[in-house]
Amino acid sequence: MEQQFTKQYINGEWINGSSNSVVHDLNPYTQKEITSIPSANEADVNKAYQAASNAQEKWEQSSPAEKQEYFLNLINVFKKRKEEIIDWLVAESGSTRTKATIEFNICFEVIKEAHSFPTRMTGTILPSNTPGKENFVYRNPKGVIGVIGPWNFPLYLTMRSVAPAVATGNTVVIKPASDTPVTSGALIASLFEEAGFPKGVINVLVGRGSEIGDSIITHPIPTTISFTGSTEVGSHLAQLAGKDLKDTALELGGNNAMMVLEDANIDEAVQAAIFGKFLHQGEICMAINRIIVDEKVHDQFVEKFTEQVKKLKVGDPNDPNTFVGPLINNSQVERILEDVAKTKQEGAKVVTSGEVNGNLIDPIVLTDVTNDMTMAKNEIFGPVAVIIKVKNEQGAIKVANDTPYGLSGSVFTKDRWRGLEVAKQINTGMIHVNDQSVNDEPHVAFGGEKHSGLGRFGGSWALDKFTTEKWISVQADYRNF
């Protein structure tokens, strides 16, 4: 790795955090320290937001061509540093090389999508019922955006807010996840710095949520807060933001269902389920949480699925053959094992389970699960597959919808139009026919319903989220009052 990140990034300068506490960045596989970063405190939060505010007006007024030139530089820097970026994702977030490469590629796509935004800041001219008047609607940046990044897809899920926000004329303050302070923060600052972006456009504050989390939201400067993470934290954040009527973009937890109907191609459904469940150890908001299978094909599915699960390589995420790597920390391991034990006590059958070694958990498959059991109700965020048997299509729809979450989902059937009709009946922001639930394309609407979030990321939806529209009317002839 070319750089050891140990500082905050404020107004184009790498400076020491002002807090007495330190964020220790650990490799989740070796559990050894990668780097340590003296934390930011509320004084640093104020410095960062002031820097972003001071830089914003000039950045907004730069021409579309100037902004796009910076983004072309960023694209080139991103490509040049590909191996370094992937190495950081493997070392810091426990990403396998497969997952890290997927994350790099989709992050690259979101930067390319953002590159088009400066020339998509379109307005509207509307007629008026008042004689001699014309109505103009202008699209403007919102100002300063606070972005709170997650630890599971740290680079991409932070960059999908940062890149569109900056491309539309905003400046940004990033608060990275404490488990991934580099890949969800400092590394991003380094990339923008090398691409030559003006000072103050990007700022990064590394610190515990308990010390600076609330002040990132409640500081008077930011107009919008973007957050990816748990529903519990997102709800708290939304309440804080709501007190000052700040806008929010929230992508929260999921309890995503994959429905396997009686006419599905079982071999294809099994392969999709393996990927959608165990990619990145299941630590993905869109990961399959429940596999709902028609009773007519249930036993066949379980047999083939379990056979394939047993073949998955678990271990060092840096090994190209590893598909299941370490969980982010030991508290996640303990939480998952506790929920598995509860679900077993509730009547579930453990079909396959293996060793627990440090932060590694061999994949676990549970059958005889009902929708009211612990592992079916909670977001798993780990390598545990929950299989629920249902009588028919209507039973599958009912079980899939019986959750407060509504992020992603999947339905498998040989009749794609049947799949489309079933998908329409699932209360979720995203769902995929004859595919698994982990899908993201930077030009398509991404987001959830119910407890899974507010707003949409991606494409024109991101452009709308990070801009506001202003009506200006012009009276050509004198208007009598």
pLDDT tens readout for residues 99-121: 999 999 999 999 999 999 999 99
Contact criterion met (CB below 8 Å) for 449 and 406: yes
Sequence-ordered strand ranges (E) for 117-161: 124-126, 133-141, 144-148
Question: Mean pLDDT across the stretch 53-70?
Answer: 98
Confidence of residue 478 (pLDDT cuts 50, 70, 90): confident
Phi-psi region of 378 (alpha: psi -120 to 50; beta: other; left: phi over 0): beta
Contact criterion met (CB below 8 Å) for 178 and 149: no
Confidence of residue 3 (pLDDT cuts 50, 70, 90): low
251 flagged as catalytic: yes
Is the predicted pLDDT of residue 234 greater than 80, yes or no?
A: yes
pLDDT of residue 4: 66
Here the tokens at position 168 are 């539309």
Q: Which of 251, 283, 379, 393 is the catalytic position?
A: 251
Q: In this prediction, what percent of the chain has a pLDDT beyond 90?
A: 97
Q: Any residues with CB less than 8 A from the CB of 232 and at least 6 apart, and which? A: none
Is the predicted pLDDT of residue 314 greater than 90, yes or no?
A: yes
Is the predicted pLDDT of residue 294 greater than 70, yes or no?
A: yes
pLDDT of residue 419: 98
Question: Mean pLDDT across the stretch 166-186?
Answer: 97
Is the predicted pLDDT of residue 399 greater than 80, yes or no?
A: yes
pLDDT tens readout for residues 77-99: 999 999 999 999 999 999 999 99
Compute the distance between CA of residue 445 and CA of residue 459 in angstroms, rounded to an integer: 7
Mean pLDDT of all residues belonging to the chain:
96
Confidence of residue 152 (pLDDT cuts 50, 70, 90): very high
Q: Which residues pair with 31 in a beta bridge?
A: none
Contact criterion met (CB below 8 Å) for 225 and 454: no
- Indicate the pTM of the whole model: 0.96
Is the predicted pLDDT of residue 1 greater than 70, yes or no?
A: no
Compute the distance between CA of residue 469 and CA of residue 477 in angstroms, rounded to an integer: 25
8-state DSSP, 75: H
Nearest Cα neighbor of 68 from 114, 115, 110, 112 is 115
Question: Mean pLDDT across the stretch 302-309?
Answer: 98
pLDDT of residue 354: 75
Structural domains of the chain ordered from first start:
8-252+452-471 (3.40.605.10), 256-433 (3.40.309.10)
Here the tokens at position 77 are 């820097």
Give 83's Cβ-side CA count (13 Å radius): 2
Is the predicted pLDDT of residue 2 greater than 50, yes or no?
A: no
Question: Mean pLDDT across the stretch 456-474?
Answer: 96
